[in-house]
Amino acid sequence: MKRAEEALKNLSASFFDDCGELRQVCFSLPQVILHFEHMKIEVRNTCEIQDDEGTRWVWRAFEVSDMIGLGNLLGYTIRQFNVLSPAKLQLTFSNGYTLLLTADETGYECFIISKEGGYGKVIV
């Protein structure tokens, strides 16, 4: 959990500037990858999507779980980010939906955010 706290406390709004629209969502059993125009997010644990009316969808690694919520993010940009706790990152999209990424205590990489061209990487 300490690694998650260190990685997230150094995030700034500029990290998400110019990431562009979410163009592609790739699913496999162990991970889902969100491809933006200039950034990608690899989720290797669990993520939760919520719309502006409170409807929730949860994707879990190694389960055939809810993928509908992730599709609702396609074509939208990240408008805001919030570190909710030392291990939770919330991304708000331009359509009002939120993506909640949560680290766990396994010590494995739960999610990775990479900027295009090697201009930054956050591993949690």
pLDDT tens, N- to C-terminus, the chain (124 residues):
455 566 677 777 777 888 999 999 998 889 999 999 999 999 998 899 999 999 999 988 888 777 788 999 999 999 999 888 778 899 999 999 999 998 877 667 888 888 887 666 677 6
Show the domain range for 87: 2-119
Report yes or no on 27 lying in a domain.
yes
Report yes or no on 124 lying in a domain.
no
Report yes or no on 54 lying in a domain.
yes
Question: Would you say 100 and 89 are in contact if contact means Cβ atoms under 8 Å apart?
Answer: yes
Dist CA 37 CA 56 (whole Å) = 25
Dist CA 68 CA 21 (whole Å) = 18
Domain count, the chain: 1
Report yes or no on 47 lying in a domain.
yes
Q: Where are the alpha helices (DSSP H) in 1-124?
A: 2-9, 68-71
Token pair listed for 19? 């990431």
Report yes or no on 7 lying in a domain.
yes
Report yes or no on 32 lying in a domain.
yes
Give the pTM: 0.87
